[in-house]
A = this chain, B = another copy of it.
Amino acid sequence: MNPFATHFESLEEFADRVSELLQCPITIEDANHRLIAYSGHEHYTDPARTATIIHRRVPERVINSLWREGVIPKLLQSEEPVRVAEISEVGLGNRIAISIWKNKEVLGFIWAIEMNEPWTEQQFHLLKQAAKAAKNLLLQLQIRKHKKEERIQEFFWKLLTGHVSSPHDIVEQCHQLNVHVYPFFSVGIFQFQQQIQTQVERQIDYLLKTTQQLAIPLYTIDHQRLIVLVAPSSNVYGESHIERFFRSFMTQMKERFRVDIMMGAFGNVYECYTKIAKSYEEAQTVLKMKRAFPHQLANIQSYQHLGMYQFFDLLFEQKRHGDFHNVALEKLKQYDAQHHTNLVETIETYLDCDSNVNETAKTLNIHPNTLAYRLKRISEIGNIDLSNMSEKVKLYIDMKLDKYRTT
């Protein structure tokens, strides 16, 4: 006979029942480690569980430890209970965990704290029965959520495309949809190697829901791209917070799920939600420029650090009208062609290296004096004053615009 074959009013009631039967504290989480229910009996509770209950989610460091220890991969692979040894650094006592399945998808987890004695076969069997019973309860939750999700998605796309009304209305709608409004935000994009499949969607959802580095009130998936609204807790070090989150998201996708993300990018941080479309545009610009200048912008993620490449679409448009043709550059190109020299490459590398002689010489594999000689020739042939910032800027931009054209 199944002890869970009755009707439960709520998941809490269910958790309490499991706790009674197993004689230990029980915590039920969804697939993203958000707290769904927990037993209320007076038992010993480790610090990790306390923190989980207080914040209504498992602390990120605990999740990270569980990944590192291989616990979560195991849970995601089998329906069997997993024994977890104490991880004292994160306040986690001895645990038994089991995943809740529906078809081939994990809906959530049940965690039990292993009290003094080791579990009996009987207890393990009970836990497995509990996991089966939890499935139906969780499914009901899921359905309710999915409906809301769809409305939120639509709302987010409206924000991204600028089809929005007043800031006040936006906040109003957020409240209706139960989307938290943060004081600062930025729009980010992750470009994946391939079209994002359903399984990867779940993995993305998992990572985004479990991260606590910053809030992600909204996100959506579009072909090969994941678009997120990120909200750093403060804007003082906002940029670097986002940077760090982006890097860790990408490494985690790779390490945990073997999913490659080509690149990530995000726009400026704004306060008013009407600027979401703008931040989105900026993020798209970053991606575009990273594609055109993969080497230069390999380590750049933010629009803020795009530097002069921010201007490029605009300048390029103008250049196509035939403006800005650079006589100096043309002369250098001509000279290169006629004399089989590398003056253009030289000056470009030199400027890439921030006018650093040694670095440039190393990059080009030439003697520093050779570089000096070439620079002298460049300034003669192109009639350029290489100690004039404005001229250098012009030349640099024109060279990069040239490259941009060929992509």
Contacts and interface: CB of A to CB of B under 8 A. Distances in A.
A310 B354 contact: no
A305 interface: yes
B391 A305 contact: yes
Contacts of A327: 239, 268-269, 304
A286 to B, nearest CB: 13
A179 interface: no
Contacts of A306: 390, 394
B239 A307 contact: no
Interface in A348-397: 351-352, 354-356, 383, 385, 387-394, 396-397
A396 B394 contact: no
A76 B72 CA distance: 101
A349 to B, nearest CB: 11
B296 A354 contact: no
A324 interface: yes
A392 B394 CA distance: 13
A328 interface: yes
**Chain A interface: which size bin?**
35 or more
Contact of A308 (B309, B310, B394): B394
Nearest to A314: B318
Number of copies: 2
Given A306-B390, A356-B387, 14 more contacts: A239-B327, A268-B325, A269-B327, A305-B385, A305-B391, A307-B389, A307-B392, A307-B393, A307-B394, A308-B391, A310-B323, A314-B314, A354-B388, A393-B393
A230 to B, nearest CB: 16
Interface of A: 239-240, 268-269, 296, 304-311, 314-315, 318, 323-325, 327-328, 351-352, 354-356, 383, 385, 387-394, 396-397
Contacts of A324: 310-311
Contacts of A305: 385, 391
A310 B307 CA distance: 18
A307 B268 contact: no
A281 to B, nearest CB: 9
Q: Give 6 nearest A-B pairs by CB, closest first.
A: A307-B390, A308-B393, A307-B394, A307-B391, A354-B387, A308-B390
18 contacts: A239-B327, A239-B383, A306-B390, A306-B394, A307-B388, A307-B389, A307-B393, A308-B390, A308-B393, A308-B397, A309-B390, A311-B318, A314-B314, A314-B315, A354-B387, A355-B355, A356-B387, A389-B396
A310 B389 contact: no
A394 B311 CA distance: 9
Nearest to A352: B389
Nearest to A311: B315
Contacts of A240: 383
Given A304-B327, A311-B315, A383-B239, A393 B390 contact: no
Contacts of A355: 354-355, 389
A288 to B, nearest CB: 15
